[in-house]
């Protein structure tokens, strides 16, 4: 396993120290989901976690987002070596979670309202972000009037509008069709190449992991532990539509697949 020098010189942004988590079971027992996980994601890194279903990936992000208290160890989210507060963290879950009673633009304005941004600025920043995700013209549509992919784009705009220092994304494109998924992968790559927010991304899709990431952590089946860390040495800017044609893509995919072979519950579309 090789970690590039440029990465090591950057500040830590997402530090997991000996993290363990067990959920209590109704019969009084406990199920260990995460076991002794330690890893460091650096500022501006696009870091992806892959692993079999049920190995604890969402639990890891829920602990990071402060939604679940870990049984042992800790996760720290930092920016310029200072601990982040919750309002600095963006979390995009698998569901879009838009407020159904608000229009697209009102949804995108919510995080700005919470942060006390003036109405004039809220409107202009929300319009700008809806444009970034290709939703100009749909500002006044309610979520039910948007397709699944459009709802997802709206939820990405709603999260990025407040410029989070660390962005957590849990299988954000899992439920989408292949064309919408590719288009959103391109949107996210372009935005990330512009903003360089630290991203911790979860996916089942190895192609997506390779196309988007600087590094990929491969987790074991439950209780989830980090099995391997793999550098994705594909130059940027990347053409996410054609990344699968690169010879390095094929060899990285083979390596990742071998690492996952023992925990074959994971599925992905064959390429
Ligand atoms: N709130 C909870 N209470 C009890 N058990 C839970 C809870 N949340 C998750 N689990 C259990 O913890 C394990 C890990 O769940 P988690 O959602 O973190 O897995 P995952 O790796 O994200 O899976 P997937 O890839 O299917 O999304 C599962 O066995 C799940 O049943
Ligand atoms: Mg999950």
Tens-of-pLDDT digits for all 271 residues of the chain? 445 556 778 899 999 999 999 999 999 999 999 999 999 999 999 999 999 999 999 999 999 999 999 999 999 999 999 999 888 999 998 887 899 999 999 999 999 999 999 999 999 999 999 998 899 999 999 999 999 889 999 999 999 999 899 999 999 988 788 888 898 899 889 888 888 899 999 998 999 999 999 999 999 989 999 999 999 999 999 999 999 999 999 999 999 999 988 665 444 433 3
CA neighbor of 126 nearest in space, from 105, 141, 98? 105
Across the strands, what pairs with 90? 167
Question: Hey, whose CA ends up nearest to atom 17 of ligand 1?
Answer: 58
What residue's CA is closest to ligand 1, atom 10? Answer: 23
Which strand ranges, in their side-by-side order, compose the sheet holding 12-24?
Answer: 30-42, 12-24, 72-79, 82-83
Distance in Å, CA 250 to ligand 1 centroid: 31
Please give the distance, rounded to the nearest whole angstrom, from the Cα atom of residue 33 to the centre of ligand 1.
Answer: 7
* Burial of residue 232, with CB atoms counted within 10 A of its CB: 0-12 exposed, 13-18 middle, 19 or more buried: buried
Round to whole Å and give the CA distance between 219 and 221. 7
- Say if ligand 1 is within 6 A of residue 58 CB: yes
For residue 138, report the distance from its CA to the centre of ligand 1, in Å. Answer: 35
- For the packed helices 148-160 and 119-132, what is the interaxial angle rounded to 10 degrees? 130
CB neighbours of 235 closer than 8 A, spacing ≥ 6?
none
Decide if 111 contacts 158 (C-beta within 8 A): yes
Residues with CB under 5 A from ligand 2 (ion): 57-58
**Is the dihedral angle over the CA atoms 211, 52, 150, 168 positive or is it negative?**
negative
227 three-state secondary structure: strand
Query: What's the pTM value of the predicted model, to 2 decimals?
Result: 0.91
């Amino acid at each position: 396993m090789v970690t590039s020098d440029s990465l090591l010189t950057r500040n830590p942004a997402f530090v997991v120290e000996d993290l363990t988590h067990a959920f209590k079971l109704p019969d009084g027992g406990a199920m260990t989901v995460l076991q002794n996980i330690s890893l460091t994601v650096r500022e501006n890194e696009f870091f992806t976690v892959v692993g079999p279903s049920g190995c604890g990936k969402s639990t890891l992000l829920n602990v990071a987002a402060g939604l679940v208290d870990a049984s042992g160890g800790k996760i720290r989210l930092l920016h310029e070596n200072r601990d982040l507060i919750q309002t600095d963290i963006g979390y995009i879950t698998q569901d879009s979670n838009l407020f159904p009673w608000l229009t697209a633009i009102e949804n995108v304005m919510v995080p700005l309202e919470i942060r006390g941004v003036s109405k004039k600025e809220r409107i202009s920043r929300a319009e700008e972000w809806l444009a970034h995700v290709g939703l100009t013209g749909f500002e006044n549509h309610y979520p039910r009037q948007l397709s699944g992919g459009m709802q997802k784009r709206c939820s990405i705009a709603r999260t990025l509008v407040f410029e989070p220092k660390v962005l957590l994304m849990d299988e954000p494109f899992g439920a989408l069709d292949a064309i919408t998924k590719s288009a959103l992968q391109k949107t996210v790559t372009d935005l990330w190449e512009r903003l360089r927010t630290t991203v911790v991304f979860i996916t089942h899709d190895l192609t997506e992991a390779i196309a988007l990431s600087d590094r990929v952590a491969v987790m074991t089946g439950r209780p989830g532990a980090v099995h391997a860390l793999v550098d994705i040495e594909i130059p940027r800017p990347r053409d996410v539509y054609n990344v699968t044609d690169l010879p390095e893509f094929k060899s990285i995919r083979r390596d990742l697949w071998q690492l996952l072979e023992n925990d074959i519950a994971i599925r992905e579309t064959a390429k």
